[in-house]
């Protein structure tokens, strides 16, 4: 059975073409008492047969179609002397063009008392929250010996996702992007060509006072960390909002959306941090209103504001939302694999909080390890001070310094003069791809109609024309013919 995809699915699938192994969610579930392999195998087979979700794949040509296949994905059983998790993840990566977008591997491990169930699912099928609901239901069914009685609820409209924290009434405050360009230039000044994965765990000292939601405190701490790190009075980022109906996690259609977030601190340095957190918390809840920020910003702000959805993502999770202990009595524990592939973002800063323990995972396709470690140290320090501020009196200026000697940002290429040979060739490629008679030097490719499918072709044409292999992120950061020509010119100078 074949069907057209929704606009949200198309957006996710298209972004996967830019980074083939993006959106993999590899997880290990450890069964401390060992696994009854026939029972788990039969149970997984039942789920694969009963729900189209697990049998969905995508065909990508000039259009994107999703197809539901009759045959379920293969469930593999293997015995390991020793389980090398990183190697297994590397062997089981999924691309969006694969026939099966979910993989199950039952792992018998000889040198451990426990066994593992390995699952890798593509994000277009399941988000982390939905995966956790599935694992909780799977665990209950495994221990009871019977599949859970499942019911598919009608899909809610994609344009109006519902959630337990949705606010009544308004759609949130309109963001201003007037200071986005200076913030972006500071980010470019930190840019490198490296990809890094960084993980750290820590516990906060003492018993922090509970006056605000942990999410609001963590988002405030991260925003202040970025401001201090970049010496920037303005900070822009995005965070995921759970738009999927929890009852409906076995059906496609209710995807998590990204909410843009901006904060300006020049006038806030004398403000008490409690007041700042309270304001941010109010804005967070006001924004849960089912708005399609992606399309809204594309229409009103152009590509300069669209970068906010790929520059910095702040992803907060907690034990109450995504439980890692699936069954304490039988020692069934979820181990989030650090192999989650997410390299389409410049920086993905992920937080998992349980009690006073914090686990931080950073994935960055654009920034150096030293910078990431410095940002993580700042976050830890500022978070601790926000929670320890039981008596009040702590001000934003006590945590953030916005003054620094202005540096020349090496990440910004000097644009080539319009009319130069490189510029003319870039403009010609854009014109041919988009069917535009003339391409202005300072107009974004994306405002002219460039989408992810065309961007893959654009990248290939640039490689063929100039014998250089730019990163996909370069096309977002240098998104006009003038800027991209300058970037190419710098690459060619370095090569010579």
| Residue 65 structure tokens | 């179609």
pLDDT single digits (tens) 408-463: 444 444 455 555 888 888 888 888 888 776 677 777 777 777 776 778 788 888 88
Query: Checking DSSP bridges between strand 332-336 and strand 347-354, what pairing results, if any?
Result: unpaired
Give domain 421-495's CATH architecture: Orthogonal Bundle (1.10)
Domain residues of the chain, as ranges? 2-126, 180-325+343-398, 421-495
Please state, in angstroms and as integers, the Cα–Cα distance from residue 226 to each residue in 122, 266, 408, following that order.
30, 14, 19
The confidence score (pLDDT) of residue 246 equals 64
2-126 and 180-325+343-398 have identical folds: yes
Q: Are 456 and 476 in contact (CB under 8 A)?
A: no
Task: Name, in order, each residue with C-beta under 8 angstroms of 402's C-beta and a sequence gap of 6 or more.
Answer: 227, 228, 231, 232, 233, 265, 266, 269
Class in CATH terms, 2-126: alpha beta
| Residue 356 structure tokens | 């006073």
Helix and strand counts by DSSP (H, E) for the chain: 15, 15
Against a cut of 0.85, is the pTM above it? Answer: no
CATH homologous superfamily of 180-325+343-398 equals: Nonribosomal peptide synthetase, condensation domain (3.30.559.30)
The confidence score (pLDDT) of residue 478 equals 82
What are the per-10-residue average pLDDT scores of the chain (496 residues)?
72 75 87 94 92 89 85 92 90 90 94 93 84 90 73 38 34 71 87 81 74 91 95 92 67 71 91 92 74 74 74 88 89 75 79 90 87 94 90 88 57 54 86 75 75 79 85 78 86 72
């Amino acid at each position: 059975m074949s069907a057209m995809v929704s606009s949200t699915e198309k957006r996710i699938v298209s972004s996967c073409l830019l980074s083939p192994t993006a959106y993999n969610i590899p997880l290990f579930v450890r069964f401390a008492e060992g696994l009854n392999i026939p029972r788990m195998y039969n149970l997984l087979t039942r789920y694969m047969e009963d729900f189209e979700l697990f049998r969905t794949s995508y065909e990508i040509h000039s259009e994107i179609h999703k197809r539901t296949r009759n045959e379920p994905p293969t469930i593999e059983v293997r015995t390991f002397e020793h389980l090398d998790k990183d190697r297994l993840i590397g062997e089981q990566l999924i691309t969006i063009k694969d026939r099966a977008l979910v993989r199950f591997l039952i792992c018998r491990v000889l040198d451990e008392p426990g066994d593992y169930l390995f699952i890798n699912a593509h994000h277009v099928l399941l988000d982390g929250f939905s995966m956790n609901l599935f694992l909780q239901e799977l665990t209950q069914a495994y221990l009871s010996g019977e599949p859970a009685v499942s019911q598919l609820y009608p899909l809610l409209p994609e344009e109006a996702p519902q959630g337990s924290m949705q606010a009544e009434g308004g759609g949130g405050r309109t963001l201003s992007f007037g200071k986005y360009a200076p913030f972006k230039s500071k980010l470019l000044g930190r840019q490198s060509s490296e990809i890094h994965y960084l993980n750290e765990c820590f516990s906060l000292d003492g018993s922090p006072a509970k006056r605000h939601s942990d999410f609001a405190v963590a988002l405030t701490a991260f925003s202040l960390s970025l401001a201090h790190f970049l010496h920037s009075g303005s900070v822009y980022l995005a965070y995921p909002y759970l738009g999927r109906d929890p009852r409906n996690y076995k059906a496609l259609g209710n995807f998590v959306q990204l909410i843009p977030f901006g904060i300006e601190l020049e006038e806030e340095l004398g403000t008490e941090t409690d007041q700042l957190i309270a304001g941010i918390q109010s804005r967070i809840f006001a924004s849960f209103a089912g708005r399609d920020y992606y399309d809204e910003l594309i229409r009103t702000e152009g590509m300069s504001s669209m970068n906010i959805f790929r520059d910095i993502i702040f992803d907060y999770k907690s034990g109450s939302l995504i439980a890692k202990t699936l069954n304490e009595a039988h020692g069934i524990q979820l181990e989030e694999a650090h192999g989650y592939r997410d390299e389409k973002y410049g920086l993905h800063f992920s937080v998992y909080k349980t009690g006073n323990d914090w686990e931080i995972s950073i994935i960055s396709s654009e920034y150096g390890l030293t910078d990431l470690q410095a940002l993580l140290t700042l976050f830890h320090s500022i978070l601790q001070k926000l929670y320890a501020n039981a008596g009040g009196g702590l001000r934003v200026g006590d945590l953030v310094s916005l003054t620094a000697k202005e540096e020349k940002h090496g990440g910004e290429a000097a644009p080539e003069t319009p009319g130069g040979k490189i510029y003319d060739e870039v403009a010609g490629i854009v014109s041919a791809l988009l069917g535009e008679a003339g391409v202005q030097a300072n107009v974004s490719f994306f405002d002219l109609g460039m989408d992810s499918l065309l961007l893959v072709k654009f990248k290939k044409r640039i490689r063929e024309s100039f014998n250089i292999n730019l990163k996909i992120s370069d096309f977002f950061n240098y998104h006009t013919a003038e800027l991209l020509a300058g970037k190419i010119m710098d690459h060619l100078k370095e090569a010579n």
